Amino acid sequence: MKLSGVWYPLISDIGRLWVERTDRPIRVTSFDVAEKAGVNQSTVSRALNDDPAIKDSTKAKVRTAAEALGYYVDTRASALRRDRTGTLAIVVIGRPGTDAHAINPFHYSLLGSICAAAAGRGYQSLVSFQSEPTDFSDHFVRSRQADGLILIGTRNNDEAWEFHRGGANAGKVAIWGSTLDDPGSIASDNVTAGKLAAERLLAAGRKRLLFVGDIDDPQRQFRERYSGFCDYLRATGHTVTDPVFADGQTRFDQGRASVARLLASKCEFDALFCCCDSLALGVLDGLRSAKVRVPEDVSVIGFDGLESGLHCIPPLATIQPDFGAAGVMLVDAALGSIAPGEQQRVPVKLIERASAGPVAK
Amino acid sequence: MKLSGVWYPLISDIGRLWVERTDRPIRVTSFDVAEKAGVNQSTVSRALNDDPAIKDSTKAKVRTAAEALGYYVDTRASALRRDRTGTLAIVVIGRPGTDAHAINPFHYSLLGSICAAAAGRGYQSLVSFQSEPTDFSDHFVRSRQADGLILIGTRNNDEAWEFHRGGANAGKVAIWGSTLDDPGSIASDNVTAGKLAAERLLAAGRKRLLFVGDIDDPQRQFRERYSGFCDYLRATGHTVTDPVFADGQTRFDQGRASVARLLASKCEFDALFCCCDSLALGVLDGLRSAKVRVPEDVSVIGFDGLESGLHCIPPLATIQPDFGAAGVMLVDAALGSIAPGEQQRVPVKLIERASAGPVAK
DNA sequence: GTGAAAGCGCTAACAT
DNA sequence: ATGTTAGCGCTTTCAC
């Protein structure tokens, strides 16, 4: 029988070595299991991998021995030999200068869904948060730490996206969010989202519907939401107006500032579709400061499905992507099961809450 | 020179194989780098690991060759040989029956901080979300996928905690949250948190301070917060009362129900310290429904530092643990740098927001 | 249906 | 200061 090596003792030697006070951890290898089960080491491997060539009785013998010894297959050795890792790398891009715990909750939800989808496909998830250039790293696939890479997070970190563009993982990357130049990206069905928002606001009996948000944001999804919103208004014979937007430090600030500008402009409106929930929360705050009542005077709908929208006043109606579907699509794309170049769209649904106002009879 | 194997061609053979239309991925190994740099393979390994025995000029030569070939050390082979993984496993326990994206935001923040701390120590983070028994898995260390394990998430999943208690990672586990029987756990300095809350509410000129929350919750930290709260009240000669609590499906529901019970009891009060922010949000909602004004009639302080607390009305004053410190402590504990048995405490600080009411002159 | 043996790509002990 | 060599623990081809 081949020995399992010189560094670590066979299980059968533990007693002796314990007495010799070795401080090396005791390791159980497939050779130990083989010895205990009275079979060859290769049979252990085959049995544990459920090879149909192995007799059931042998499998049972091996499994019993493995369990008795507390044996687990060494993932590193297995991965090295099989030439796969069984792992997906997930990179979450954050705003420069902010802590990892200040990540947009939307991306945390997405992260959770991705990990769940990866687990469903039998993959582990190697997660890293990258905000500063010193954090940047993309060699997961090249260094055989992962079989594919998923990129999510804020688009407001040019350095990070620049770094990851055509990085060391070429061909095995899935990206969340739509841009013109990322061919394999996955995003919400933003056009439908815009349509759903317009439809619902019209159903509330609203006449002057506006879009709030920056359609020139690097986050191109905002533009798509605006476009779907306008398309539906046009198709139903309504007036289409330019988006309302004033800049600010955070999305919340942008929402407040946009409302301020809008009210100052004396432009008439009775419904707002906001590009995202965090901006919508700022919009609600701005409207409240100005004593504009929601939803009595103005209906508001956001996008994202953030938890914060549940506890604001009034609770924020919002359009939420199907996180489960998003996770699965991203994982499949990273594993190469989706033809590159295809832009996948994640279904969205309206979450009814008070801010949208009741549907008119 | 030893060949790098039969499965994959040396870089020098790429041209030929390309022509032969092999569909195997081309791999660059340290042998290819050695050939290109004109040194031995072991020299490549030493050079890239910055072995002081290697001449600077040789190191430069090797690094140039490696870069030219796009070579990265194969993590699996390196980890196998070195017998370490450079990875930490992080398990996030969720409530049974809920999706990964419905995880408590507090735990997402903690997760982010842990990954950041791990990266700071040179470790990768292997994340898994476990809610259902089918997700349960704890053999990360035994199967050599990770050098240690960090356990966070809800305490309201008995099956999960039962599973992880004394699992296959014995001795290399760090746990968030305090319990009597997890000796190596890390938790917030809850006693100080209770003191800070009491101190602040008294400073607002409040006289009848109550604690809201279930001190018998499996989340034992609630009891500690209550205890620190009471200690301070006692030490300053104030009356101490039993906690207020009524059960509910979610923490938010518990908050609403507790307020309802409290108001029905006709018990006098002008300040509430809530065991956690999500319950506090329910408390605010309950008070609003009952037309009790916050902070004019009642001051409210929560615990956690959730983002949702920023956007509720009024914004929720809260006590927040230092997430950065928490991440570092958990990582160090999982890596064994902290003596087992010690209970580590993460510093907390008060986040001033309107719900606490102004400090009385 | 199982055993024998090779070797994944790397690091480190042992040479020189 | 660098080359030679063994072998980490596993999977898989090749024998029988």
Q: State which residue of chain B sits closest to A102, comparing Cα positions.
A: B109
Q: Which CATH number is A206's domain given?
A: 3.40.50.2300
- Tell me the mean pLDDT in the region B20-28: 54
Residue with CA nearest C1' of nucleotide D7: A5
Is residue A36 domain-resident? yes
* Sequence-separated (6 or more) residues with CB below 8 Å from residue A130: A91, A92, A93, A94, A136, A137, A153, A160
pLDDT higher than 50, residue B317: yes
pLDDT higher than 70, residue B19: no
Q: Can you say whether the dihedral through the CA atoms of B101, B104, B108, B109 is positive or negative?
A: positive
Residue B83: which region, alpha, beta or left (left: phi > 0; alpha: psi -120 to 50)? left
Which pLDDT belongs to residue B33? 95
Within 3-22 of chain A, which residues have Cβ less than 7 Å from strand D?
3-8
Is residue A250 domain-resident? yes
Which pLDDT belongs to residue A360? 86
Is residue A50 domain-resident? yes
Q: How far is the CA of B148 from the C1' of D2 (A)?
A: 36
Is residue A80 domain-resident? no
Whether residues A51 and A144 fall in one domain: no
CB of A49 within 8 Å of a chain B CB? The answer is no
Q: What percent of chain A has a predicted confidence (pLDDT) above 70? A: 88
Whether residues A210 and A352 fall in one domain: yes
Q: State which residue of chain B sits closest to A67, comparing Cα positions.
A: B168
How confident is the model over A95-121, as pLDDT tens digits?
998 887 678 889 999 999 999 999 999
CB of B91 within 8 Å of a chain A CB? The answer is no
Whether residues A215 and A352 fall in one domain: yes
Q: Which band of pLDDT confidence, cut at 50, 70 and 90, is reported for residue B14?
A: very low
Whether residues B197 and B316 fall in one domain: yes
B54 touches strand D (CB under 7 A): yes
Which of B124, B128, B144 is the closest to A74 by Cβ? B144
Q: Which of residues 200-239 of B touch A (CB under 8 A)?
A: none
CB of B266 within 8 Å of a chain A CB? The answer is no
Which pLDDT belongs to residue A103? 87
Q: What is the enclosing helix (H) or strand (E) of B33?
A: helix B30-37
Q: Which band of pLDDT confidence, cut at 50, 70 and 90, is reported for residue A218?
A: confident
Residue with CA nearest C1' of nucleotide D11: A81
A119 chain-B contacts, CB cut-off 8 A: 128-129, 135
∠ at Cα B77 (B74, B82), nearest 5°? 115
A265: exposed, middle or buried (C-beta count within 10 Å: 0-12, 13-18, 19+)? exposed
Residue B361 has a CB neighbour count (10 Å cut-off) of 4
Cis peptide before B105 (omega within 30 of 0): no
Q: How far is the CA of B73 from the C1' of D7 (A)?
A: 18
Q: Which band of pLDDT confidence, cut at 50, 70 and 90, is reported for residue B104?
A: confident
Which pLDDT belongs to residue A12? 39
Q: How far is the CA of B27 from the C1' of D6 (A)?
A: 24
Q: State the first-to-last Cα distance of chain B, in angstroms, to the nearest integer.
A: 83
- Tell me the mean pLDDT in the region B77-103: 91
pLDDT higher than 70, residue B167: no
3-state secondary structure chain A: CCCCCCCCCCHHHHHHHHHCCCCCCCCCCHHHHHHHHCCCHHHHHHHHCCCCCCCHHHHHHHHHHHHHHCCCCCHHHHHHHHCCCCEEEEEEECCCCCCHHHCCHHHHHHHHHHHHHHHHCCCEEEEEEECCHHHCCCCCCCCCCCCEEEEEECCCCHHHHHHHCCCCCCCCEEEECCCCCCCCEEEECHHHHHHHHHHHHHHCCCCCEEEECCCCCCCCHHHHHHHHHHHHHHHCCCCCCCCECCCCCCHHHHHHHHHHHHHHCCCCCCEEEECCHHHHHHHHHHHHHCCCCCCCCCEEEEECCCCHHHHCCCCCEEEEECHHHHHHHHHHHHCCCCCCCCCEEECEEEECCHHHCCCCC
B129: exposed, middle or buried (C-beta count within 10 Å: 0-12, 13-18, 19+)? buried
Whether residues B223 and B253 fall in one domain: yes
Chain B nearest CA to A253, separation (Å): 12
Which of the listed residues B182, B214, B235 is the one where a domain comes to its end?
A: B182
pLDDT higher than 50, residue B125: yes
Please tell me the number of Cα atoms within 13 Å of A275 on its side-chain side: 25
A131 touches strand D (CB under 7 A): no
Which pLDDT belongs to residue B100? 72
Is residue B35 domain-resident? yes
Which pLDDT belongs to residue A11? 43
Range of the domain at B124: 87-182
Contact assignment for A143 to B313 by CB distance below 8 Å: no
Which of B74, B128, B145 is the closest to A143 by Cβ? B74
Whether residues B111 and B170 fall in one domain: yes
Which of B76, B101, B103 is the closest to A144 by Cβ? B76
Residue of B109, B116, B189, B97 lying closest to B152 (CA atoms): B109
pLDDT higher than 50, residue A9: no
Pick among A7, A80, A84, A101 to test the B interface (most B CBs inside 10 A)? A101
Measured CA to C1', the nucleotide nearest A79 is D10
If DSSP codes are grouped into helix, strand and coil, which group holds residue B134?
Answer: helix
Average pLDDT, chain B: 88
Q: Which pair of structure tokens corresponds to residue A23?
A: 């401080």
Whether residues B214 and B351 fall in one domain: yes
Residue A248: which region, alpha, beta or left (left: phi > 0; alpha: psi -120 to 50)? beta
Which of the listed residues B69, B100, B119 is the one where a domain comes to its end?
A: B69
How confident is the model over A226-281, as pLDDT tens digits?
999 999 999 999 999 999 999 998 899 999 999 999 999 999 999 999 999 999 99
Whether residues B245 and B312 fall in one domain: yes
Average pLDDT, chain A: 88
- Tell me the mean pLDDT in the region A282-288: 96
Which of the listed residues A159, A182, A205 is the one where a domain comes to its end?
A: A182
Worst-scoring range by mean pLDDT, A17-21, B243-247, B258-262?
A: A17-21
Q: Which of residues 275-304 of B touch A (CB under 8 A)?
A: 281, 285
Chain B nearest CA to A137, separation (Å): 11
Which pLDDT belongs to residue A100? 72
Instruction: In whole angstroms, give the CA distance from residue B93 to residue B101.
Output: 12
Whether residues A151 and A205 fall in one domain: no
If one counts the domains in chain A, the total is 3
Which pLDDT belongs to residue B165? 79
* Sequence-separated (6 or more) residues with CB below 8 Å from residue A127: A89, A90, A92, A111, A115, B90, B111, B115, B125, B126, B127
Distance of alpha carbon A51 from its chain centroid, rounded? 35
CB of B318 within 8 Å of a chain A CB? The answer is no
Which of A102, A103, A281 is the closest to B311 by Cβ? A281
Whether residues A178 and A198 fall in one domain: no
Which pLDDT belongs to residue B5? 36
Which pLDDT belongs to residue A110? 96
Instruction: In whole angstroms, give the CA distance from residue B278 to residue B249.
Output: 12
- Kindly report the pTM of this predicted structure: 0.90
Q: Which CATH number is B173's domain given?
A: 3.40.50
CB of A26 within 8 Å of a chain B CB? The answer is no
Q: Which CATH number is B65's domain given?
A: 1.10.260
Which pLDDT belongs to residue A8? 39
Is residue A294 domain-resident? yes
How confident is the model over B285-301, as pLDDT tens digits?
999 999 999 999 999 99
A99 chain-B contacts, CB cut-off 8 A: 112-113, 116, 323-324
Which pLDDT belongs to residue A18? 32
Is residue B81 domain-resident? no
Is residue B339 domain-resident? no
Phi–psi pair at A82, nearest 5 degrees: -75, -20
Which of B99, B124, B285 is the closest to A145 by Cβ? B124
Whether residues A214 and A351 fall in one domain: yes
Residue of B320, B310, B294, B304 lying closest to A253 (CA atoms): B310
Whether residues B159 and B226 fall in one domain: no
Q: Which band of pLDDT confidence, cut at 50, 70 and 90, is reported for residue B220?
A: confident
Chain B nearest CA to A72, separation (Å): 5
Nucleotides of C under 7 A from a protein CB: 1-13
* Sequence-separated (6 or more) residues with CB below 8 Å from residue A29: A4, A5, A8, A71, A74
CB of A72 within 8 Å of a chain B CB? The answer is yes
Contact assignment for B115 to A128 by CB distance below 8 Å: yes
Q: What percent of chain B has a predicted confidence (pLDDT) above 70? A: 88
Residue with CA nearest C1' of nucleotide C8: A81
- Tell me the mean pLDDT in the region B204-230: 95
Q: Select, from the ranges A23-27, B131-135, B257-261, the one with the highest average predicted confidence (pLDDT).
A: B257-261
- Tell me the mean pLDDT in the region B314-342: 88
